[in-house]
Structure 1
Amino acid sequence: MTTVETPPETGYWVIVPAAGSGKRMGADKPKQYLPLAGKPLIAHTLDNILGWPGVAGVVVAIAADDHEFATLAAAQDPKVHTVTGGAERADSVLAALQYLSARTAPDTTVLVHDAARPLVSKGDITKLLSAGPIALLAQPASDTVKRTQADQGSPRVSQTLPRAQIWLAQTPQKAPLERLRGALQAGLAQHPEAITDEASALELAGDEPELVAACRSNFKVTHPADLMLAEALLQHRQTLDQIQSGIEQ
């Protein structure tokens, strides 16, 4: 019996919150504009997104005083739109959802992706698009996970958590437009401190997002060392692409 694969979804939108300052990077500019392999970090992320199968458009939430985004080559792509983001990630995502709600159907699939994750693979995107309507990429924990007490002084272990039950959330995170918008609005009004990503808002609204295992390369650039690792992986991918191109020719 032949197994027929379900084709990935098409006509979805991607939201990229990019209004933050990236304080943990300790740089003199927002981390999304730090140089990576010859161009800003966010430029790699957008180039990646625009190559995903079936993407209808991208909404990037930028800071009100951001004058750098417009200089990017990807900013000139007709699929790329911008909105003014907010003080927190959830505010930026909500602003983008409000923008989309006036332009597309309420059941349109939306993927929210970090500007600082330039290395997500197309294979993982295809798996996410083929998953249930509410889902996210995530990485099963491979290290032993320890819980600490919220005490002063040096942290000490209070509990070892069962590793098999621990997943590390990544992006994109996927949901129908109006379902995500309603969950974020309610979550921000009632429990703003609990909203750390889109899945957390959907969980508060009663949903159980599906976890889709992703490659380790889909890490978030957060610290200076992450930039070096991302550049090495980008160069490796470019080398593989060149080899594959030569074979096909």
Structure 2
Amino acid sequence: MHLQENHQSSAPVFPSPHGPPPTKTLPEGMEKPQGRVAAVVPAAGSSERMGSVTPKQYIEVCGRPLVTYCLEALQSVEWMSRVVVVADDLARMREVVRGAALSKVTVIQGGGSRHRSIRVGVEALAAEEDPPDVVVVHDGARPIVPLHTLAQVVVMAQRHGAAGAVRSLVSTVVMPDAQDFLEESLVRSQYRNSEMPQAFRFGVLRDAYRKCSDEEADYGTECLALALRHCRVKAKLVPGTPQLWKVTEEKDLEVARALLPRLTRHTIVVCRTLASSQPCRTAGAAHASDPFTGAVTCREECSHVFASLEDTLRRSCKELHFSPRYDTAVSSLASVVVITNVTCHTTLVEHLKDAAADINNAAGPVIFIFNQQSHNLNPIPLSIVSLQQEVRDAFSNHSGPVTVILNSPTRTPECIKGGPDVSHDQPPPDTQRLRSLVASLLDQTSRGFHGLVLVL
């Protein structure tokens, strides 16, 4: 069996539905895994504990199937050579992989249990001409794959044969008897929760699965235990992070919907002034022509608005980027915040239409912050209701909500920055309102409020 069904494409600056996520590299000084590393992702479960008709790996979380989060995370690791996802429905999972343009990911048919599915994935890798030196196992229902934890378990597996992430127990574990009376209570401090990712020298995991019994394959869940029992390999346990949680029940989906945007999303700030002043963090090369045409211009005032919003923006996403252009490649993992000045309302609609054509329609929340300069504004030719309809029409194909904020700052830039009459502990009221509004808009996970025009 050869794992060669993938699509090749070049990686853009940001994740795009037409290319893989950007490659992630380890921080300087952190030990990098050596040799060939592959991953097996079991995602063939029926989600009995979820109580959902749709298996949880396909349930949409913030606009994307749950399984894509861990697959994109593994795809983006520079030293991860390939990923085998073991699925219940080949056609459905292949469509998910194709839609996310995951060039390293191959889909194969799963087994009747978790261990049987992992074993199928391991055997598929064993049939390759160049099987990996180390294989990582990570559940498809665990959306977060911290890079440093992944690297640690791989390095420890290379060194010791097997390794896995663990976390301290939150609750004490008790054992009942046959009549559900307390039989034994374990000392919580002596035990750990076994988490993912786990990693193994490839030969260790392959041999463990080839030696395990049918009962183990049908009812077991712990890969590290198989390595210990059948290969006498004691796994090195690596302290994990709070992000290593698994979506198992309905309540876990609510946690995922609240946390995943902040843990995985990129926010792109489109502003010529900010992009030119921060070239090392600018997304994409500067464009020869002015991206802000017609009646919309960008001036130094934008820096003051951004200064008041920076903490809010950084808390709402994993990474913050700057671009002078609207057409930076983005995906549903990205939100777009446009900060610029309005000098004339008469061509505002035309400008929004141009922006809609350039902003990738797979983007998440898109927020326009137009700073109104009252001394040179012409009368507004459209009612707010009419303008809202124009926004909805212009961005009708966009998957995320789009909001226009007409910001009328009543304070000078010096006050926004914290002048002599402004308390550094308490921001001005207009700044507080803008921060709160932007934070709420970035947390939107549906188009329920699509096309709003708000005046501050």
TM-score band w.r.t. shorter chain? 0.7 to 0.9
After TM superposition, the structure 1 stretch with the greater mean CA deviation from structure 2, 100-109 or 160-169, is 100-109
Shift of 1:183: 0.5
Q: Which residue, 85, 88, 96 being the options, matches 2:110? A: 85
2: CA distance, partners of 1:223 / 1:106? 35
The yes-or-no answer on 1:135 pairing with 2:160 is no
Q: Which residue, 243, 255, 261 being the options, matches 1:229? A: 255
Shift of 1:124: 1.3
Deviation string, structure 1 residues 105-138 (Cα, Å, up to 9, x no partner): 4561000110000013112112222323310111
Residue 245 (structure 1) aligns with: 321
Residue 85 (structure 2) aligns with: 60
1: CA distance, partners of 2:252 / 2:219? 27
The yes-or-no answer on 1:44 pairing with 2:72 is no
Runs of 4+ in 1 over 3 A off after TM superposition: 73-76, 104-107, 189-194
Shift of 1:236: 2.1
The yes-or-no answer on 1:71 pairing with 2:99 is no
Residues 59, 66 of structure 2: 8 Å contact kept: yes
Deviation string, structure 1 residues 121-165 (Cα, Å, up to 9, x no partner): 11211222232331011112233x23222323xx44322212222
1: CA distance, partners of 2:36 / 2:224? 21
The yes-or-no answer on 1:174 pairing with 2:199 is yes
Amino acid at match of 1:161: L
SS of the aligned residue for 1:77 comes to coil
What is the total number of aligned residue pairs between the two structures? 240
Amino acid at match of 1:217: Q
Shift of 1:192: 4.1
Shift of 1:191: 4.3
2: CA distance, partners of 1:166 / 1:74? 41
Residues 227, 234 of structure 2: 8 Å contact kept: yes
SS of the aligned residue for 1:68 comes to helix
SS of the aligned residue for 2:91 comes to coil
Which residues of 2 match residues 142-221 of structure 1 at below 5 A?
Answer: 142-143=170-171, 145-152=172-179, 155-189=180-214, 191-192=216-217, 195-205=220-230, 206-221=232-247
Amino acid at match of 2:93: F
Residue 31 (structure 1) aligns with: 56
After TM superposition, the structure 1 stretch with the greater mean CA deviation from structure 2, 77-86 or 215-224, is 77-86
Residue 99 (structure 1) aligns with: 124
Residue 113 (structure 1) aligns with: 138
Residues 106, 178 of structure 1: 8 Å contact kept: no
2: CA distance, partners of 1:113 / 1:128? 11
Q: Which runs of 5+ in 2 are unaligned?
A: 1-28, 266-315, 323-456
Residues 168, 191 of structure 2: 8 Å contact kept: yes
Query: Measured at CA, do residues 101 and 146 of structure 1 come closer, stay the same or move farther in structure 2, by a change above 3 Å?
Result: closer
TM-score (structure 1 length as normaliser): 0.87
SS of the aligned residue for 1:23 comes to coil
The structure with more radius of gyration: 2
How large is the Cα RMSD of the aligned pairs?
2.4
Residues 58, 66 of structure 2: 8 Å contact kept: yes
Shift of 1:198: 1.2
2: CA distance, partners of 1:70 / 1:191? 29
2: CA distance, partners of 1:5 / 1:79? 24
Residues 69, 75 of structure 1: 8 Å contact kept: no
2: CA distance, partners of 1:203 / 1:100? 21
Deviation string, structure 1 residues 166-197 (Cα, Å, up to 9, x no partner): 11111121112222111112113474466312
Residues 109, 177 of structure 1: 8 Å contact kept: yes
Shift of 1:82: 1.8
1: CA distance, partners of 2:74 / 2:226? 24
Shift of 1:94: 1.0
Residues 146, 158 of structure 1: 8 Å contact kept: no
Residue 341 (structure 2) aligns with: none
